[in-house]
A = this chain, B = another copy of it.
Amino acid sequence: MLLLKRIIRNYGTTQQYALPITIKDLYKRIVNPPRTVQNVNGWIRSVRLMKKMAFLDIQDGSCLETLKIAIPIKQSDETIFLKRLKTGQSICIASAQWQETPQREQPFELKIEDPLQSISIRGNVTENYPLQKKNHSLLFLRSLPTLKHRTMYLGSLMRFRSFIEQRLMNVLQSDDFVKVSPPVLTSSDCEGAGELFEVKTASSKNYFGKPCYLTVSTQLHLEILAMSLSRCYTLTPCFRAERSDTNRHLSEFWMLELEMCFINDVRSLTTVLESILRRLIESCLERSSELIPEVTLQECLSREDVINRWKMLLNPEPWKLITYTEAINMLSEKHKIKPFEKYEPKWGEPLQTEHEKWLAEAHFQSPVFITDYPRDCKAFYMKTNTPSIPGKETVACFDLLFPEMGEIAGGSIREDNYNALAHEMHRRGMNSSGELDWYLLLRREGSVPHGGFGLGIERLISYLFGNHNIRDAIAFQRSATGTIDL
């Protein structure tokens, strides 16, 4: 901040060009409060007008806290002025006195002696301004994409997302992972996961000389970079033209994808992932009071339940880890006693949602890694486990299931042997026109054992924040049934 001050001085003024003061800044001053404050800005959250006093609650989205403004009323024109104040208006308070209020809910308030002089309305609201003080449902808020983040709950969710992303990146940096930016525009379909979005320009169908798609996963490109940098990750948007219209699917979502070299065992990946997430959640717990609102929405987890969820994740016992085959055995036992509603667990079939729910919720009541799925349930690039039983081949992969959320991450050791990969691609009828030769040939030039995983950011954030629908964990949702309003 010294620097900023120096620059400012050179412009010949003292305050004008610094960052405007926020409510968060004011709360930082509690230990050493100023006598007066100038130029405080925000949006009115509520107005309480009495005969001799008025109280305003101001928010500015910088923190959970609101700012209380106390205004003694001395003249009738002040009452007339204060009656014009409405929820949602933006105001500027030119000058106010700091008053400690240890007996009240909030530790201090700002007192204004002359509201006509001190308060100016910067932006009015229409009569239909839809956000009043009470808590609206998320369903209603989703219909207000330009205003909904002004609510305490969704504003906090955006700040929480920022905190999670920032912490994740710090943790990865401390583990020497290099942050990279693989492309969004790609010519290849990573794993046949979901339908692709195709990209064109109005004037030219083939701007790039061949069909071009939006990436569904940057993994294949990430492998190139890992094989140069040893460890890398990206935080990037991915796109799937899904038809699934659930509270766990988005057409545009962000992924943390990580890739590392010189590992042979899927447990290296699960250990790294568990360690990253535990360190992340520990830092959430340290700062819970500034991350989660005291009052949450009725349909979402309370602050207490959120903190209990974090503590469950931080259980000193390592997260459960079982193979797919062990999972099928457990599920079959359970199915004999009390059958699953829709699907009988069968080796060779994907695990269904009801199976995953039973494992993570009813049975383990803990996060659970499921490893070593049948080869034909998974993507072509996963390394086949050896020795293998013909017809019962498994791959060195994992899915991480969280109770009440299901899959939150998945990864694998990649096939690093040229012949084995070429054979598997051929077996699946892939690469007929050589479009993945670049990926295959990477195994011919200093190939190394490597692996990685992808983690859905919105799923992680929703799980940790306790909102149930991942559509609320991204600022503007793009999903199968949603139109693009803006």
A residues in contact (CB < 8 Å) with B: 3-4, 6-8, 10-11, 16-20, 22, 24-25, 39, 41, 43, 60-62, 88-90, 92, 122-126, 129, 145-147, 149-150, 154-155, 158-159, 161-162, 165-166, 169-170, 173, 175-176, 178-188, 195-203, 207-210, 212, 214, 220-221, 224-225, 227-232, 236-237, 239, 241, 251-252, 254, 260-263, 265, 267-268, 271-272, 274-275, 278-279, 316-318, 416, 438-439, 441-449, 474-476, 478, 482-486
A476 touches B221 (CB 8 A): yes
Complex-state Cα separation, A148 to B484, whole angstroms = 39
Q: How many copies does the complex hold?
A: 2
B180-A16 in contact (CB<8A): no
From B122, B158, B186, B201, A448 is in contact (CB under 8 Å) with: B122
Contact A228 B158 (CB under 8 A): yes
Q: Is the CB of B146 within 8 A of A442?
A: yes
User: A228's contact among B123, B155, B179, by CB below 8 Å, is which?
Assistant: B155
Taking CB atoms, residues of chain B closer than 8 Å to A129 are: 445-446
The answer to whether B185 touches A484 (Cβ under 8 A) is: yes
| Given A62-B230, A183-B252, A442-B146: A19 and B272 interface contact (C-beta under 8 Å) | yes
The answer on a CB contact under 8 Å between B159 and A229 is: yes
Chain B residue nearest to A63 (CB atoms) is B176
Those 3 A-B pairs whose CB atoms lie nearest each other, nearest first? A123-B447, A149-B228, A61-B229
Give the Cβ gap from A35 to chain B, nearest Cβ, in Å.
22
Contact B475 A17 (CB under 8 A): no
Contact between chains at A446 and B179 (CB < 8 Å): no
Chain B residues with CB under 8 Å of A475's CB are 180-183, 221, 224-225
Additional 13 contacts, C-beta under 8 A, given A155-B228, A201-B241, A220-B486: A7-B271, A8-B271, A17-B267, A17-B271, A19-B272, A20-B260, A20-B263, A122-B447, A149-B228, A159-B178, A159-B229, A196-B202, A207-B241
In angstroms, Cα B483 to Cα A186, docked, is: 10
Closest to A316 in B: B6
Q: Give bound CA distance, A25 to B231, whole Å.
A: 13
A261 to B122, CA, bound (A): 12
Q: Closest CB-CB distance, A412 to chain B, in whole Å?
A: 15
Residues B445 and A483 in contact, CB atoms below 8 Å apart = no
27 sample A-B contacts, Cβ–Cβ < 8 Å, listed by A number: A6-B316, A7-B318, A11-B271, A16-B268, A17-B267, A61-B178, A62-B176, A88-B445, A90-B446, A123-B416, A123-B445, A124-B447, A125-B445, A129-B445, A146-B224, A149-B225, A149-B229, A158-B228, A184-B239, A185-B484, A186-B484, A195-B202, A196-B201, A198-B199, A198-B200, A208-B478, A439-B486
